[in-house]
Amino acid sequence: MSGPGYLFLGDEERALVQQALDEWHLNRYRFDEAAGPSMVYSLEREFEQRTGAPHCLAVNSCTSALLTALVALGVGPGDEVIVPGYTFIASIAAIVHRGAVPVLAEIDESLTLDPADVARRITPATKAIVAVHMLGAPADVGELRRIADEHGLFLIEDAAQACGGRYRGRALGTIGDAGAFSLNLFKIITSGDGGLLTLADDTAYERAFAFHDHGFKPLRQGIADADSLFGMNLRMHELSGAVALGQLRKIDDILGVLRKQKTALLDAIGELPGVTRRRINDPDGECFSFLVLQFETVEAARAVAERLGTSTLIDSGRHYYGNMPQLLARRTPTPSEHPFASSDRRYEANMLPRTDEILGRSIALSVGVVDAYLGSGVGINPLSSPDEIAAAARAVQSAVNEVVAMK
């Protein structure tokens, strides 16, 4: 049970961690100028160089990155933020903790936000759109960027599951006004826990830095202006930064292996009766960490999932809005006058019929992320041999053919 980055941990990460320990540098700041840049600082600058993002800020989780992005962009109490009904609960939790109101929107066959449905849900209270690059593949951020610009909205990219992905040549997380990435155990690259935030605007970056570190200006070059917000402590630890830096330096190798493994699995499975593959908005830009099969009916998908010992995506834990009791019960982090609790928006099961139908007839096979909670507990991993890939393909073929024969 892990993501691809975990399987690539090795001497590179160990050496960077050992360097930090040898020097006893455990904080992201190097208060001795002669000591040179910290691991966290180097991680931020190398991530900027790789993605082309004007600014990168390392934090302690992707949830913190999302919350910090909302703060930096001025999203606050009563603002509406459009978010897909298929995402991890953290995308919605960050909105609620800002006092804003999540507005759930449908996904399409790509398993990401349906731009047409997003456009229908915009109101005068809408402040931002959160595009989630689910299961390692990009949302239609080109169209979502156009919609956001047309209505004067912020676009935030939740790239927790898609670090290293691209859309039409641009790095995910750099097309919107902010991008949030996860470094937890189940992600493309990992530091155990941790997150990265990319920002396009200088002022937004300064606000983000102040929020993540007690109101300080970037790199603690003085105290932020008096009108800045109260900051918190969401900093990344230096040892996490060391591991993440080692992982970032091998991300191209990781993505290359994932592409090779997914291609091999696709070739081995071949065409299946009554089965299509998930639509990918940019086939060259995905992370190749999952293979999603979509069936003609919910019943067929459920029958195949049962034979494989897995589940359809509608049953994938708190990634489906209907499995989020906090949302459906309007549980808030503050008293009942919280805008989320007092708004007239309703959150209930089956409120997104298209999302329900698509997730109900979709199965995710692991390629790099082996995670039953996410719905990808079966399949292969980056280290699977050709024989293991062939065996996984035969299992899928057998399950599908058995279900077809029962019709």
pLDDT tens digits, one per residue of 193-212: 999 999 999 999 999 999 99
Give yes or no for residue 77 having a pLDDT over 60: yes
Name which of 260, 253, 194, 242 is nearest 11 in CA terms.
Answer: 242
Q: What is the mean pLDDT of residues 348-365?
A: 97
Q: Evaluate whether 53 touches 200 at the Cβ level (below 8 Å).
A: yes
Lowest-confidence pick of 130-144, 152-166, 319-333, 378-392: 319-333
DSSP codes of every residue in 169-212:
TEETTSSSSEEEEE-BTTSSS--BS-EEEEES-HHHHHHHHHHH
Question: Of the listed 127, 187, 260, 407, which one is catalytic?
Answer: 187
Domains of the chain in sequence order: 4-248 (3.40.640.10), 252-405 (3.90.1150.10)
Q: Which helix (H) or strand (E) holds 364?
A: strand 362-366
Coil, helix or strand at residue 396: helix
Task: Name the packing angle between helices 251-269 and 386-405 (round to 10°).
Answer: 40
Bridge partners for 197 per DSSP: 57, 180
The total of other beta-carbon atoms located within 10 Å of residue 109's CB is: 16
Cα distances (angstroms) measured from residue 303 to each of 253, 312, 403: 36, 10, 7
* Mean pLDDT, residues 355-378: 97
What's the half-sphere exposure (Cβ side, CA atoms, 13 Å) at 48?
Answer: 14
Residue 2 forms beta bridges with which residues? 370
CA 171: distance to chain centroid?
A: 14
Confidence (pLDDT) at 339: 86
| Across 136-148, average pLDDT | 98
Q: Strand, coil or helix: what is 235?
A: strand
Alpha carbon distance 128, 108 (integer Å): 20
Task: Confirm whether 187 is a catalytic residue.
Answer: yes
Q: Tell me the C-alpha distance between 382 and 394, whole Å.
A: 18
DSSP state of 218: G
pLDDT confidence of 226, banded at 50, 70, 90?
Answer: very low
Name which residue leads in pLDDT, 49 or 338.
Answer: 49
89 closest CA partner among 121, 130, 143: 130
pLDDT band at 396 (very low <50, low <70, confident <90, very high): very high
- Residue type, position 120, single letter: R
